[in-house]
């Protein structure tokens, strides 16, 4: 039986309404209790987008719906939502109330579908799954119930250089917008065309309709998003290139791009390999020019720099930060925590990925959604030297207690505003360096 | 309805007070309907996300210095509560709190298994774990839709655990689906606090309970002439201080929407008289309020002196702002009583309210006294308010109404609403400190800030040119009440 959770770093299934908010001109419709939308808006903050937050239609279950069912109310809300709000896609998300009483959403959604509404539905009850899992449920719902209806115009795998990218979870990854933009730029640098699907660089529903056309898919994630690429593999025969952590900095970004390039070529993408390699080299060069300058600072700064780091984040970030910081800044990752409620079947492979970071040392990693417990553990651990904590706003107090430097980089993020900054890629690595050592230098009054 | 602290749950506001969330008309009509025929709520055939009782109940417990709060539900039902940790840290400065400790917020993390087999055992284990981990002086369990529907015996669990652990453990029933008014969560929170913490008084002390949020400590100065000190409850208070709030000589409320239930409980169950008249916003109400305070504390002279001193100090400033703001128009969106108070501030500053979107309406508060009807005072002191809309944060109605009236300024009290003012190029002001507008000084505060906000309109004027708007042209041409029961777009089967 999973235990209590203190200091949540993720939220429940209905939190994936933010994935809908991230699709241009899509509207989430909540069939849920009255507070669900507010809880999610409050968790992510500054996350309203086109039609999230107080704009999202919601059936606001009352005792009447709990007793008599809420489908009729839902029908009214859907009908009127389309009159009141301009949208290209409506996505119904169900909450705990609807799931427990067993409302039949599907037939309601299908009726509207038959009337030509661009509408899909997804089961996202909070007691069943987390927002990390529900993100895939939403993406698959849009693929199966919407995009799949347009395959006549979008024959499967008909564009050899087109890929669908599944990486950052919108809003759950504090840097999702910047990260997706940067993935797209980097992959386009190889000569690929990229459906990024979420955020301002997506072409909205037109792009979702073109998903089948893609030659293959790219998944950047240790585990979340897996059901999407499996679904597409089964549905359209699209293979996928899987990269299991966030490519932060030069080593991992080059590994990611070379992997994607080899995969694309092996699957018949029409790419100029030489030009693609030149692009990678040019990007690397820009990165190392900065690292050259940084080395002097790292080696000569005599007032104190952090020599070790604790990371509390989802496993993709814990791996990505660890690999980057150890090899590209010299900071040693100590006890770190994957806080996203990682499914057990992925523990081994994530641990192995953590261990492969260094040939000489093992990097302690704990799977701990109860981040309050993780904090208590860190309270009792001391390492020699100055420490850095990378985590959410909850870590601000802990860092203060321990006298550590603190870099907020995860949700909830009360002390940091992130808009279009990216942490992945070559430029992302440099930005992480700027942010960490900016905090360190700023600590000198 | 009389108070019964033996009952585990209290009925939500719609059943207890006859409160409503749907009305279009004028403020005067609403006050008069509340008095004569009783209010009938109207439903909507379109609705947007509300808010729910569980977070308002959490607001009454999380900010208690030495208590822990457990949300009994799936993780999602506790996911916005981290915001109270931020509030606690930042506003602690306004209260001079030195030892700012981490907030203790937990979720029992209900999963599918518990929806089938029940979650009471998991809750009991959670309480033990929290007790070990946080060593709190009290634990509050707030319920959620999921725990409510599956019917966990939360009250029984709290009782057993209290016996086992020897600290107050309180079940607070605040499932979102029980009420259309998230403010019912305040009442539920206070009910749990009163049942588990407040003790019968042994002595009387020269303290006055102030039921508020996180507002600046202005009452220390205000109460000094009466020989009393404020006992702020419940944010920043301690389990011990709350348990002795029965020893106070009086209770005052920063906002009747917030303090209605606790004020009545303290008077009816613990003999602490509350000031019935509405909170002190606007000159007329500030004077009534100070006189009521003087009367209650047996020192009417001190009240007259305070009024005269403050008048002498602040009236010249207020007069100046009245001249500068004369004829300026405003629209208000806020929770009920505080929204009324903002209308009083506008009236006092000589501004013209063009309308209001107020989240709900209580015909009377728990004390049953007409003296506490904040909206009635506003209407009597400053005249009627047109386009008075009772609407529980239904953004589509607000956007529609705001688009019609286009005021010089939008005053908001809750997050999420302000951006619509800005998107329409309307200078918009949200003040988080609920004490900011109180008394004579509050009028000077608001006068200055309103002027500054109207003056600094470059940002909103620029945003207006580039703002995205998801609302259809069709909708903006309908009446704002079109989807309310009785309106032209309201469908009968809803």
In order, the DSSP letters of A413-440 are -TT---SS---SHHHHHHHHHHHHHHHH
Q: Please report residues of A whose CB lies closer than 8 A to that of B122.
A: 1
**A55 lies within 8 A of chain B by CB:** yes
Is the model's pLDDT at B93 over the cut of 90? no
Contacts of A231 (CB under 8 A, 6+ apart): A140, A143, A144
Burial of A204 (0-12, 13-18, 19+ CB in 10 A): middle
Task: Give the neighbor-by-neighbor strand order of the sheet with A26-31.
Answer: A26-31, A89-94, A119-123
The answer for B197, left when phi > 0, alpha when psi is -120 to 50, beta otherwise, is alpha
The token pair that represents A336 in the structure block: 């770190």
The CA distance from B220 to B234, in Å, is 16
Q: How many CB atoms lie within 10 A of CB A20?
A: 28
Q: Report CA torsion sign: B391, B393, B396, B401.
A: positive
Q: Which two tokens mark B274?
A: 């509350």
Examine the pLDDT at B492 and tell me if it is beyond 80. no
Query: Can the peptide bond before residue A412 be classed as cis, meaning omega within 30 degrees of 0?
Result: yes
Q: Quick check: B468 contacting A, CB < 8 Å?
A: yes
Please say whether the structural domain B51-179 has been given the CATH code 3.40.50.1980: yes
pLDDT-based confidence at residue B175 (cuts at 50, 70, 90): very high
User: What's the CA gap between A97 and A73, in Å, rounded?
Assistant: 14
What fold, for B207-291? Rossmann fold (3.40.50)
Tell me the domain boundaries of chain A. Answer: 13-145, 159-272, 282-442
The pLDDT of residue A216 is above 90: yes
Which residues partner with B430 through β-bridges?
A: B412
Statement: residue B269 has pLDDT above 50: yes
Whether the pLDDT of residue B297 is over 70: the answer is yes
B439 band by pLDDT with thresholds 50, 70 and 90: very high
From residue B71, alpha-carbon distances to A181, A426, B22, B54 in Å are 37, 42, 30, 8
Tens digit of pLDDT for each residue in A9-53?
Answer: 999 999 999 999 999 999 999 999 999 999 999 999 999 999 999
By the 8 A CB rule, do A261 and A276 touch?
Answer: yes
B76/A13 CB distance under 8 A: yes
Q: What are phi and psi of A91, to 5 degrees?
A: -120, 115
d(CA A170, CA B430): 28
**What per-residue confidence (pLDDT) applies to B405?**
95
Q: Which residues of A touch B85 (CB under 8 A)?
A: 393-394, 414
CATH of domain B300-477: 3.40.50.12380
Residues of A in contact with B49 (CB under 8 A): 30, 34, 36-38, 41, 53-54, 56, 58, 60
Q: What is the mean pLDDT of residues A234-249?
A: 98
Q: Name the phi and psi angles at A242, rounded to 5.
A: -110, 120
CB–CB contact A38 B180 (8 Å): no
Would you say residue A145 has pLDDT above 60? yes
B70 strand-pairing partners: B106, B141
Counting DSSP H helices and E strands in chain A, the numbers are 17, 14
- Closest partner CB to A11 (pick from B79, B86, B489): B79
CATH 3.40.50.12380 residue spans of chain B: 300-477
pLDDT at B315: 97
| CATH architecture observed for domain A282-442 | 3-Layer(aba) Sandwich (3.40)
A332: three-class secondary structure by DSSP? strand
Residues of chain B contacting residue A80, judged by C-beta atoms under 8 Å apart: 45-46, 483, 489
Distance CA(B381)–CA(B378), nearest Å, equals: 5
Choosing among A35, A371, A375, which should be mutated to test the B contact, i.e. which has the most B CBs within 10 A? A35
Nearest-CA neighbor of A80 among A102, A103, A112?
Answer: A112
State yes or no: pLDDT of B1 exceeds 70. no
On whether the CB atoms of residues A18 and A30 are closer than 8 A, the answer is: no
A127/B145 touch (CB, cutoff 8 Å), yes or no: no
- Which residues 332-361 of A are in CB contact (within 8 Å) with B? none
- Residues 6 or more apart from B345 whose CB is under 8 A from it? B281, B282, B437, B442, B443, B446
The predicted structure's pLDDT at residue A439: 97
User: What's residue B494's pLDDT?
Assistant: 43
SS3 assignment, position A394: coil
Q: What angle do CA B405, B406, B411 make, to 5 degrees?
A: 100
Which whole number is the average pLDDT over B74-93? 96
CA dist., res. B478 & res. B485, Å (int):
15
CB within 8 Å: B83 and A42:
yes
Secondary structure class of B352 (helix, strand, coil): strand
Q: How far is A265 from chain B (nearest CA, A)?
A: 41
| Residue pLDDT, tens place only, B189-213 | 999 999 999 999 999 999 999 999 9
pLDDT at B36: 84
CATH 3.40.50.1980 holds for A13-145:
yes
Record: contact B113-A96, CB cut-off 8 A: no
The mean pLDDT of B178-183, rounded to a whole number, is 95
Q: Is B396 in CB contact (< 8 Å) with chain A?
A: yes
What are the tokens at B177? Answer: 């689906």
Q: What is the pLDDT of residue B414?
A: 84
Superfamily classification of domain A159-272 = Nitrogenase molybdenum iron protein domain (3.40.50.1980)
Cα–Cα distance, A306 to A298 (Å, whole number): 10
**Spatial contact of B210 and B231, defined as CB atoms under 8 Å apart:** yes
DSSP letter for B49, please: -
Residue B96 confidence (pLDDT): 87
Percentage of residues in chain B having pLDDT higher than 90: 95
Residue pair A19/A133 in contact by the 8 Å Cβ criterion: no
At residue B169, what are phi and psi to the nearest 5 degrees?
A: -130, 125
Residue B155, classed as helix, strand or coil, is helix
Pinpoint the residues of chain B covered by CATH 3.40.50.1980.
51-179, 207-291
Q: How confident is the model at residue B491 (pLDDT cuts 50, 70, 90)?
A: confident
What is the overall mean pLDDT for chain A? 97
pTM score, whole prediction? 0.97
Count chain A–chain B contacts defined by CB atoms under 8 A.
239
| Chain B hits for A76, Cβ within 8 Å | 45-46, 491, 493-494
Average pLDDT over chain B reads: 96
């Amino acid at each position: 039986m999973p235990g209590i959770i203190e200091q949540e770093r993720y939220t429940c299934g209905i939190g994936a309404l933010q994935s809908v908010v991230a699709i241009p001109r899509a509207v989430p419709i909540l069939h849920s209790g009255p507070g669900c939308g507010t809880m999610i808006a409050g968790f992510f903050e500054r996350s309203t987008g086109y039609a999230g937050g107080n704009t999202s239609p919601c059936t606001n279950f009352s005792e009447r719906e709990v007793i008599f069912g809420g489908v009729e109310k839902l029908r009214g809300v859907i009908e009127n939502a389309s009159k009141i709000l301009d949208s290209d896609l409506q996505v119904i998300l169900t909450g705990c109330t609807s799931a427990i009483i067993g409302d039949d959403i599907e037939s309601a959604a299908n009726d509207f579908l038959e009337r030509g509404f661009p509408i899909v539905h997804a089961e996202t009850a909070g007691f069943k799954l987390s927002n990390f899992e529900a993100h895939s449920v939403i993406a698959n719902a849009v693929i199966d119930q919407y995009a799949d209806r347009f395959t006549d115009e979008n024959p499967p795998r008909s564009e050899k250089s087109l890929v669908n990218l599944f990486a950052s979870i919108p809003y759950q990854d504090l840097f999702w917008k910047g990260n997706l933009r940067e993935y797209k730029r980097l992959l386009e640098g190889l000569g690929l065309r990229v459906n990024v699907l979420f955020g301002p660089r997506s072409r909205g529903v037109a792009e979702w309709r073109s998903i089948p056309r893609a030659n293959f898919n790219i998944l950047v994630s240790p585990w979340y998003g897996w059901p999407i690429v499996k679904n597409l593999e089964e549905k359209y025969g699209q293979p996928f290139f899987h990269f299991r952590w966030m490519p932060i900095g030069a080593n991992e970004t080059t590994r990611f791009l070379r992997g994607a390039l080899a995969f694309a070529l092996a699957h018949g993408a029409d790419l100029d390999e030489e030009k693609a390699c030149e692009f990678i080299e040019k990007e690397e060069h820009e990165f190392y020019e900065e690292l050259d300058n940084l080395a002097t600072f790292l080696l000569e700064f005599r007032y104190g720099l952090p020599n070790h780091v604790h990371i509390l984040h989802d496993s993709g970030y814990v791996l990505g930060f660890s690999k980057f910081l150890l090899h590209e800044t010299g900071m040693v990752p100590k006890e770190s925590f994957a806080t996203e409620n990682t499914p057990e079947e992925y523990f081994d492979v994530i641990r192995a990925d953590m261990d492969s970071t260094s040939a000489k040392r093992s990097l302690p990693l704990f799977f701990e959604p109860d981040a309050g417990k993780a904090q208590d553990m860190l309270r009792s651990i001391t390492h020699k030297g100055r420490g850095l904590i990378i985590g959410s706003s909850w870590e601000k107090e802990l860092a203060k207690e321990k006298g550590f430097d603190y870099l907020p980089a995860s949700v909830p993020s009360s002390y940091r505003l992130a808009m279009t900054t990216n942490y992945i890629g070559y430029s992302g690595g440099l930005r992480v360096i700027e942010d960490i050592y900016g905090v360190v230098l700023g600590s000198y009054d | 309805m009389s108070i019964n602290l033996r009952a585990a749950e209290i009925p939500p506001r719609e059943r207890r007070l006859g409160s409503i969330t749907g009305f279009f008309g004028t403020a005067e009509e609403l006050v008069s309907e509340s008095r004569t025929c009783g209010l009938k709520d109207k439903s909507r055939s379109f609705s947007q996300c509300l808010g729910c009782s569980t977070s308002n109940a959490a607001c009454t417990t999380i900010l208690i210095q030495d208590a822990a709060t457990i949300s009994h539900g799936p993780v999602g039902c506790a996911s916005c509560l981290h915001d109270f940790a931020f509030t606690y840290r930042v506003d602690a400065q306004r209260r001079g709190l030195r030892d700012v400790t981490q907030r203790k917020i937990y979720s029992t993390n209900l999963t599918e298994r518990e929806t089938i087999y029940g979650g009471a055992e998991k809750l009991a284990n959670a309480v033990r774990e929290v007790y070990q981990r946080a060593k709190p002086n009290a634990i509050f369990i707030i319920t959620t839709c999921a725990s409510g529907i599956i019917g966990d015996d939360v009250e029984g669990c709290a009782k057993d655990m209290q016996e086992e652990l020897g600290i107050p453990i309180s079940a607070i029933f605040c499932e979102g689906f029980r009420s259309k008014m998230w403010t019912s969560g305040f009442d539920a929170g206070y009910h749990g606090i009163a049942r588990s913490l407040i003790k019968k008084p042994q002595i009387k002390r020269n303290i006055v309970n102030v039921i508020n949020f996180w507002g600046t400590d202005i009452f220390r100065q205000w109460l000094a002439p009466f020989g009393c000190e404020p006992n702020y409850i419940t944010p920043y208070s301690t389990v011990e201080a709350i348990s002795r709030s029965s020893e106070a000589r009086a209770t005052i409320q920063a906002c009747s929407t917030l303090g209605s239930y606790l004020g009545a409980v303290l008077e009816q169950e613990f003999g602490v008289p509350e000031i019935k008249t509405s909170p002190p916003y606007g000159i007329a109400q500030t004077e009534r309020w100070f006189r009521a305070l003087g009367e209650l504390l047996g020192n009417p002279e001190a009240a007259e002196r305070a009024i005269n001193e403050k008048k002498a100090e602040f009236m010249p400033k207020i007069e100046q702002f009245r001249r500068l703001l004369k004829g300026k128009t405003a629209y208000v969106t806020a929770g009920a009583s505080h929204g009324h108070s903002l209308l009083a501030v506008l009236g006092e500053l000589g501004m013209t309210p063009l309308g209001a979107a107020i989240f709900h309406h209580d015909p009377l508060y728990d004390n049953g006294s007409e003296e506490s009807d904040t909206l009635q005072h506003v209407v009597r002191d400053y005249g009627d308010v047109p386009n008075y809309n009772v609407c529980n944060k239904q953004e589509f109605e607000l956007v529609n109404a705001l688009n019609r009236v286009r005021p010089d300024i939008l005053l908001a009290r809750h997050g999420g609403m302000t951006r619509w003012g800005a998107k329409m190029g309307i200078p918009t002001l949200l003040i988080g400190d609920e004490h900011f507008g109180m008394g004579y000084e509050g009028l000077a505060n608001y006068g200055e800030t309103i002027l500054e906000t109207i003056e600094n309109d470059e940002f909103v004027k620029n945003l207006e040119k580039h703002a995205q708007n998801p609302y259809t042209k069709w909708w903006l041409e309908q009446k704002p009440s079109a989807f309310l029961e009785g309106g032209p777009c309201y469908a009968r089967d809803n």
